[in-house]
Chains A and B, each alone.
Chain A
Amino acid sequence: MDAIVNERIKQVLKGDQEAFGDIVELYKDRLFQLSYRMLGNRHEAEDIAQEAFVRAYVNIHSFNLNRKFSTWIYRIATNLCIDRIRKKKPDYFLDAEVSGTDGLTMYSKIAAEGKSPDKEVETMELQEIVQREILRLPDKYRTVIVLRYMDELSLNEISEILEIPLGTVKTRVHRGREALRKQLHNF
């Protein structure tokens, strides 16, 4: 896949804009999942993922063809997500409170419907709860957890994407996992 991507990048560098479409196709799913896990909102996630591709295109000349393209584009997308989270922080706290209340409603709902034979609905709700709990993590923990488990990235790759020391990544993964364990304790 890296060979295909590098081929396309070279075409883009020569001025073939259409070749960039293939790159988008290859990575759109992963960038969208990443943004969605980070932001929890479909519309925003698509917007950020698209913006990440636009930025990648505009800065494609600065991409080093000897490096992994996924690392580079993940970094662009992650930074955009973090910017977005920080910009809407005041709202975010309000949302968090509201969603906390919702969470309670949902917990009690699950308990009440615990014996429902509709297993699929139960699974859906659990997934929603997990997503909600990921969103409750402070962004520095959320970021590493999302990168670690969305695409099974290694700690080293995460350290490269976020440009933070490996030791810091380890600590954040540990703390993020521990925080989620406590939050999901009852499930």
Chain B
Amino acid sequence: MKACPEEIVLYMQEYLDGDLSREDEQVLKEHLQNCSSCQTHFHELKKTITYIKSTSHIQVSDGFTANVMARLPKEKNSVGVKR
């Protein structure tokens, strides 16, 4: 059994960032057509991204903005507040 070219995993990664050149994309596609273990690897990477994106969106508490405003250094008309 022949080992897969080292750059294939790099190509997968670059593809996922829209960073892969057209020629290299062709190399990746052809390799994937013939290599089921790389296909699985690629599929798992894509699944991982879906998972990361699916993490639940939690809400800030209602008083968030008011709390921030309360924590701001007080602005006084007098001099002395450094920003």
**Interface residues of A, Cβ cutoff 8 Å to B:** 15, 17-18, 20-21, 24-25, 28-29, 32-33, 36-37, 42, 46, 49-51, 53-54, 57-61, 123-124, 126-127, 130-131, 134, 145, 149, 155, 170, 173-174, 177-178, 180-181, 184-185, 187
Contact = CB atoms under 8 A, between A and B. Distances in A.
Nearest to B10: A174
A95 B60 CA distance: 24
Nearest to B56: A127
Interface of B: 9-10, 13-14, 16-17, 19, 41, 44-45, 47-49, 51-61, 64-65, 67-69, 71-73, 75, 83
Contact of A155 (B10, B19, B49): B19
A123 B50 CA distance: 13
Contacts of B67: 50
B54 A20 contact: no
Contacts of B14: 170
Contacts of B61: 46
The prevalent SS among residues of A at the interface is: helix
Contacts of A131: 55-56
Contacts of B45: 177-178, 181
B27 to A, nearest CB: 17
B72 A54 contact: yes
A58 B10 CA distance: 43
A149 B60 contact: no
A46 B59 CA distance: 10
B83 A61 contact: yes
Nearest to A180: B48
Contacts of A149: 49, 52-53
Contacts of B9: 178
A145 B52 contact: yes
Nearest to B16: A177
A145 B48 CA distance: 11
B58 A174 contact: no
A149 B46 CA distance: 12
A162 B14 CA distance: 20
Contacts of B41: 181
Nearest to A15: B75
